[in-house]
Chains A and B, each alone.
Chain A
């Protein structure tokens, strides 16, 4: 089936299988920033924005996004670079597999919450698992990024 949607500010027309997930369709079309982790909507590494809201792309049917707006990490390169720099500076980036998902949640959080405190940040990012960092260095990086980005 054919879907037409806005992907990273550009209208695209894709041929997809009705059975495909958004994550599968994205990766098949070369957008491999969103990773596959648990494949059960539990880990957050496949996070993308659907109509500006963070969603687990492994659980969103690709057909659903027809007529809608999808933003992936490829579409937020400037923020991704600045978040990456903050992560590196704080020693939070180890294997890096979860970072694109975290970037997307952080981009959404910035739009949704005004000057969040630590508890609000932890709550918002609770759906993004990281097996390496233990989250403390991530929290330092998030604070550094939010502080520097304003």
Chain B
């Protein structure tokens, strides 16, 4: 990584102005993956001082700033009980405290990482994201679009809903990336079943959600395993992931129904 200019805006608006001024600028969130990459960066825009590192309650639910770290999610009082604590569960074993202190919500979502636990959990809770230019949209819609490197993700919004929810994942060692991750949630007549690290990104499974609404955990597990796509990577093969999906979706949905 080589950077020629390193800028530290004091607000999201200032950051957006810098992105407009420097068309090839790269945003630095946590910085860990940028550091590991080899691309040449002429202008770096570091959001560390932009005032986006917060978790707060709003009249309509909860808001996570783009620079909120995984450690902040893990320890925020507002998140301990929200959706049965699955936003805490999904990040609390990732690598170590040091890495969780630099890994950011915005960097994770903008990176659209397939292995991401947070994306899977947020999709299950109907999260919305705010972009400086494109405005507010459901996380699923954001993930489906091509990344716009000129725009800036500023916050994530969680609705004021009382979700019954469950987090399940399988890792090869306790602090590793997940081989597969699953989030299930239910609130009234709404159900969500999301499976990620397939190794592709977390996706909802509407058939499994219908089974969860019908109170059928085994049916949800069966239909998720048979309809979702699974692939091979260094951590596991697709067939193994399919079997894991059956088990983890059964556990997650049973827990939500309990």
Interface residues of A (CB under 8 A from B): 1, 18-19, 21, 40-42, 44, 47, 50, 53-56, 58-61, 63-64, 66-67, 105, 108, 123-128
Contacts of A55 in B (CB 8 A): 98, 101-102
* Residue of A19, A41, A126 contacting most chain B CB atoms (<10 Å): A41
| Contact partner, A59, options B46, B97, B102, Cβ 8 Å | B102
Given the complex of chains A and B, what is the CA–CA distance between A53 and B102 in angstroms?
A: 10
Instruction: Report B162-176 residues with CB < 8 Å from chain A CB.
Output: 174-175
Taking a contact as CB atoms under 8 Å apart, the answer to whether B28 and A61 are in contact is yes
Taking a contact as CB atoms under 8 Å apart, the answer to whether A56 and B49 are in contact is no
7 nearest A-B residue pairs (beta carbon): A127-B96, A18-B6, A63-B6, A59-B32, A18-B3, A56-B98, A53-B101
Query: Does B137 make an interface contact (CB < 8 A)?
Result: no
Contacts of A54 in B (CB 8 A): 97-98, 101
Given contacts A53-B71, A61-B46, A64-B46, A21 and B35 within 8 Å (CB-CB):
yes
Given contacts A56-B98, A127-B99, A40 and B36 within 8 Å (CB-CB):
yes
Instruction: Report B29-78 residues with CB < 8 Å from chain A CB.
Output: 30-32, 35-36, 44, 46, 48-49, 71
Number of A-B contacts (CB under 8 A): 83
Contacts of B44 in A (CB 8 A): 18, 61, 63
Query: Does B144 make an interface contact (CB < 8 A)?
Result: no
Contacts of B28 in A (CB 8 A): 61, 64
Given the complex of chains A and B, what is the CA–CA distance between A123 and B99 in angstroms?
A: 13
Instruction: Report B82-99 residues with CB < 8 Å from chain A CB.
Output: 92-93, 95-99
Taking a contact as CB atoms under 8 Å apart, the answer to whether A126 and B71 are in contact is no
Taking a contact as CB atoms under 8 Å apart, the answer to whether A60 and B31 are in contact is yes
Contacts of A108 in B (CB 8 A): 97
Taking a contact as CB atoms under 8 Å apart, the answer to whether A63 and B101 are in contact is no
Q: Which residue of B lies closest to A104 (CB)?
A: B98
Contacts of B36 in A (CB 8 A): 40
Given the complex of chains A and B, what is the CA–CA distance between A40 and B102 in angstroms?
A: 13
Taking a contact as CB atoms under 8 Å apart, the answer to whether B3 and A60 are in contact is no
Supply 7 further A-B pairs (C-beta < 8 A) apart from A59-B30, A123-B93, A126-B174: A18-B4, A61-B28, A64-B31, A126-B95, A126-B97, A127-B95, A128-B96
Query: Does B5 make an interface contact (CB < 8 A)?
Result: yes
Contacts of A56 in B (CB 8 A): 32, 98-99, 102
The contact sample of 21 A-B pairs, CB cut-off 8 A, is A1-B6, A18-B3, A18-B4, A19-B3, A40-B36, A42-B95, A47-B98, A54-B98, A55-B98, A56-B102, A59-B102, A60-B31, A63-B8, A63-B44, A64-B31, A66-B8, A67-B49, A105-B98, A126-B96, A127-B99, A128-B96
Nearest CB in chain B: distance from A72 CB, A: 14
Taking a contact as CB atoms under 8 Å apart, the answer to whether A59 and B31 are in contact is yes
Query: Does B190 make an interface contact (CB < 8 A)?
Result: no
Taking a contact as CB atoms under 8 Å apart, the answer to whether A41 and B98 are in contact is yes
Taking a contact as CB atoms under 8 Å apart, the answer to whether A44 and B8 are in contact is no
Contacts of B258 in A (CB 8 A): none
Contacts of B97 in A (CB 8 A): 54, 105, 108, 124, 126-127
- C-beta contact mask, B217-258 vs A, less than 8 Å → 1, else 0? 000000000000000000000000000000000000000000
Nearest CB in chain B: distance from A130 CB, A: 12
Taking a contact as CB atoms under 8 Å apart, the answer to whether A19 and B46 are in contact is no
Contacts of A66 in B (CB 8 A): 8
- C-beta contact mask, B99-129 vs A, less than 8 Å → 1, else 0? 1011000000000000000000000000000
